[in-house]
Amino acid sequence: MKGQETSSLPAPAVSRRTRSRWTPAARLALAILTFIVFVEFWKQLGNSFSSKFLSKKSKFQKCSIDTYLATGLEFLKTAEQPPLEEYILRRNNLAKALVEDEIDAFVVEPGYTFSYYANVTQPQWEVWEPEERPFLMVLRPETLSNGSIVANTSFLVPHFEEVRARLLGMPFEDEISTVVYEEHWDPYTTLWTAPMWGEKLSPKLMVDEEMRDFIARGLSMNGFTVVGLSGEVEAVRQIKTEREIGILRAVNTGTVEAIRAMRQCLYRGVTENEVQEVLDNTMRASGLDPFFDIVEFAESAALPHGGHDGTRKLKPGDFVLIDVGSHLYGYSSDVCRTFYPPFFPSPPPPESNVTEKMSVWQLVLDAQAASVRAMVPNATAASVDIAARTVIEDAGYGEYFTHRLGHSLGIKAHESPYLNKGNVASKLRPGMVFTSEPGVYVLGKFGVRHEDILVVKDDGEAENISGGFAKNPWTP
């Protein structure tokens, strides 16, 4: 008993001494450490779980981007940021057009056309909103001693904004020339009294199509003769330079390649909205900047420009219609493809009942091919539309081709001239770039559209600059 008492007494004393070492602060620290270890454990477990069970959409996006990047992005090689010389060429081309049209000056405010000639967009000048104080670029033709015609450019600008205008870094060789006005002056009278007009009493101005009405009226009521955009001046932007075509080729081919890459990764049950998000992120992986994306499955595609809420889920046998655009160096893509998802077999099983859809898909492609053959110099815009429309009408689907064949394309997605059967006045010239986008839309059933970008050549049919035409519903 005595030995047992001796051996059992120290234990409680040791236990009390050990517990006494843990102060409240130490116990708090131990609790925090235990919590951190616990959180990290579950975090690692969660990462392991998520990598093993990654969401379908995440896998879809990774597959799409990886497939896109695996192409090597060769299409980007044709694109070059327009240098100073490109803007000088554009302005000088405009000066020659002004002489031909017998116009004293071309006037434009910040926007797409201002960007074309001086690389400044409206948000770059007025990030908040277009305001009431005119900031105008005035381009006049000047004949040099050697007989060549060049652009002489001035800017009407509020006095307090003059320094900011100079800081825009517009592409000019020399310091920009300005005509300034104070807040209490009439800006249009200020421009009219500027010495640039010499002895002309009522200089003839051509205003850009994007000019706001109050500015055009202000000019016309204060000494100027104002006319709208037309003639050779309008044609300057319509006829693309080689650098412009290089950028348009890159951005449109890159957009089509993104669609093709994304298509290979589609899965049953994905929604239209999810496809839109993944496709946009896929294009961003190459440096393109998406600005619109229409994704429609099955009968949703019977509305050419969408309108449904994007929640429709993809099923075998559904057509996928995608119309999408991106920007590169300020230039637009605008392409469309209609196709089957990769999990729908080729040829389709007999029970799928897709005979009509397959037939219409080929019909629309045939109509596009007819438009390409008609897209030659001196053809009217109307004749190109009619060439495609006739193919669809002869097949009995004329009432379902509800929009024009196409439009020009450049720094805007939609530019003039427009390919519709009523436009008999506009004639095609080499260097013009158009969409060809025939379609058939059967409400409640399906829609099909093919859209490619074509440049009018000096002779022969137009050239595809959007990565090649679709081949079949499984090879868009």
pLDDT over 70 (residue 11): no
Average pLDDT over residues 155-184: 97
pLDDT over 70 (residue 243): yes
Tens of pLDDT along 137-163? Answer: 999 999 999 999 999 999 999 999 999
Q: Please give the mean pLDDT across all residues of the chain.
A: 92
List 325's β-bridge partners, or say none. Answer: 292
Task: Give the per-residue pLDDT at 14.
Answer: 46
d(CA 111, CA 438): 30
pLDDT over 70 (residue 1): no
Tens of pLDDT along 103-124? Answer: 999 999 999 999 999 999 999 9
CATH 3.40.350.10-classified regions of the chain: 102-229
Average pLDDT over residues 132-138: 97
d(CA 375, CA 369): 10
Q: How far is CA 455 from CA 199, 275, 287, 385, 416, in A?
A: 43, 30, 24, 16, 14
Kindly report the number of other CB atoms within 10 A of residue 350's CB atom. 8
Residue 260 contacts residue 308 (beta carbons within 8 Å): no
Tens of pLDDT along 422-464? Answer: 999 999 999 999 999 999 999 999 999 999 999 999 998 999 9
pTM given for the model: 0.87
Q: Please state which CATH number belongs to domain 102-229.
A: 3.40.350.10
Point out the least confidently predicted range of 2-16, 126-140, 246-260, 361-375. 2-16
Q: b vs e for 417-443, b when ≥16 Cβ sit within 10 Å of the residue's Cβ?
A: bbbbbebeebebeebbbbbbbbbbbbe
d(CA 401, CA 302): 11
d(CA 261, CA 270): 16
CATH 3.90.230.10-classified regions of the chain: 62-73+239-464
Task: Give the per-residue pLDDT at 9.
Answer: 47
Q: Is the dihedral of CA 366, 367, 371, 373 positive or negative?
A: positive
Task: Give the per-residue pLDDT at 15.
Answer: 45
Query: Starting from the edge strand earliest in sequence, which strands make up the sheet with 225-227, in order?
Result: 177-181, 149-158, 136-143, 105-108, 204-207, 225-227
DSSP category for residue 23: -
Pick the CATH number of 62-73+239-464 from 1.10.20.10, 3.30.9.10, 3.40.50.1000, 3.90.230.10: 3.90.230.10
d(CA 266, CA 273): 13
* 3-state secondary structure at position 353: coil
